[in-house]
Amino acid sequence: MTTTPVALNLSTPARGARGKPPKHFADLTPAERVAKVVELGEKPLRAKQLATHYFSHLTSDPSAMTDLPASSRDALVEAMFPELLTPARTLRADGGTTVKTLWHLFDGAKVESVLMRYANRSTLCVSSQAGCGMACPFCATGQLGLTRNLSPAEIIEQVRSAARSLAAGEVPGGDTRLSNVVFMGMGEPLANYKTVMATVRALTAPTPEGFGMSARNITVSTVGLAPAMDRLAAEGIPVTLALSLHAPDDELRSELVPMNEKFSVKQVLDSARRYFEATGRRVSIEYALMRDINDQAWRADLLGTELNRRGRGWVHCNPIPLNPTPGSKWTASDPAVEAEFVARLRAHGIPTTVRDTRGSDIDGACGQLAAEED
Ligand code: SF4
């Protein structure tokens, strides 16, 4: 999910049907991995060995797989680990602890991921689609339109690459583990539902079948595809759900988030509440504060009332300061207005945290992922 306007990137591939990415080891279930190695004439146990290299050692380099017969390694890797992502550009900010990577996919489509290291955690923001079809007018990605859905392995490779980089000590602060993944990069995750769920399963499966991450440390965001939110609630994997609301009234929200025409404020808040009931996980309400558009005190009051109407203690509100874009219709709220908005929400008893805008000087903050190369 993204939130600010950026100049359109004319070099982004045109929309339209594209081929499917080649099947990768990370696209397969554990049973499918076994079937595939047997099909390649290898012993079933090779699947587990490969999974250990990939998910625990974070590598698909055949020269590192010394427990496999030398005669098998290259053939297995060639058949099961096609190169899906090529880093095209890497930008660093915040003393090197924020790293934005632009990836080229096999067909020339482009996506970005942003790694943010904090004192007590490391978070990777991943893209789930190349472009996005939701057309939110204030969002850079929304202006690109949808190029295509990513495959599970194309998302998992973003994660593996970041985890490997952290483990190798490439990010200042010493070697560490990747603790959090947020689906808040390019795309609407719930519009690529099956792929996002396959990815979540690979993230949470215990090693060596997956990365062994806690579901609590994974956040799936949505503009409010209400039926998919209900479907997610029924999965039994208690990821954090982040609902990008941006306005508490249908009139404005339909302007900011066109999908609101289909699923209204009432419908998405009701679905969010059901998510809390099913999972016990507090839902994050994301609210990009835009000067003179959605930052009025009465809208904070209305938001507080609408949330409390559905019960107490089930949400956390994250106002997100938009990056200042002087002269643009979509720019940051006045600090005093932002402070008043937050105070009003808190006065309604809504836990509220203004979200960090890490990486804003490299266009890596929310709303700036436009896969620009120039
Ligand atoms: S859904 Fe998110 S990524 Fe897509 S256009 Fe809207 S804000 Fe941008």
The closest residue, in CA terms, to atom 2 on ligand 1 is 1
Angstrom distance (rounded) from CA 303 to CA 319:
12
Give the per-residue pLDDT at 19: 72
- Is residue 223 in contact with ligand 1, taking CB distance under 6 Å? yes
Residues 165 and 72 in one domain: no
Residues 289 and 197 in one domain: yes
The closest residue, in CA terms, to atom 5 on ligand 1 is 142
Give, to the nearest 10 degrees, the angle between helix 265-279 and helix 297-309. 50
pTM: predicted TM-score of the whole model, two decimal places = 0.92
Q: Is 18 exposed, middle or buried (0-12, 13-18, 19+ CB in 10 A)?
A: middle
Total count of domains within the chain: 2
Q: What is the pLDDT of residues 110-143, one digit of tens each?
A: 999 999 999 999 999 999 999 999 999 988 888 8
Q: What is the pLDDT of residues 293-318, one digit of tens each?
A: 999 999 999 999 999 999 999 999 99
Give the per-residue pLDDT at 365: 46
Ligand 1: distance of its center to the CA of 59 in Å?
A: 32
Q: Are strands 180-183 and 218-222 parallel, antiparallel or unpaired?
A: parallel
> Could you tell me the mean pLDDT of each successive run of 10 residues in the chain, 374 residues long?
35 50 97 97 96 98 94 95 96 94 96 94 95 90 91 98 98 96 94 98 96 97 97 96 97 97 98 98 95 97 98 96 79 94 98 79 52 54
Give, to the nearest 10 degrees, the angle between helix 152-167 and helix 193-204. 30
Q: Domain containing 54 — which CATH number?
A: 1.10.150.530
Residues 43 and 146 in one domain: no
Instruction: Print the domain residue range for 47.
Output: 27-80
The closest residue, in CA terms, to atom 3 on ligand 1 is 1
Half-sphere exposure of 14 (CA within 13 A, CB side): 2
109 lies in some domain: no
Residues 195 and 322 in one domain: yes
Give the per-residue pLDDT at 358: 66
Give the per-residue pLDDT at 29: 94
Angstrom distance (rounded) from CA 311 to CA 279:
15
Could you tell which of 141, 245, 254 is best to mutate to test the pocket of ligand 1, judged by most ligand atoms within 8 Å of the CB? 141
Residues 222 and 334 in one domain: yes
10 Å Cβ neighbour count for 57? 15
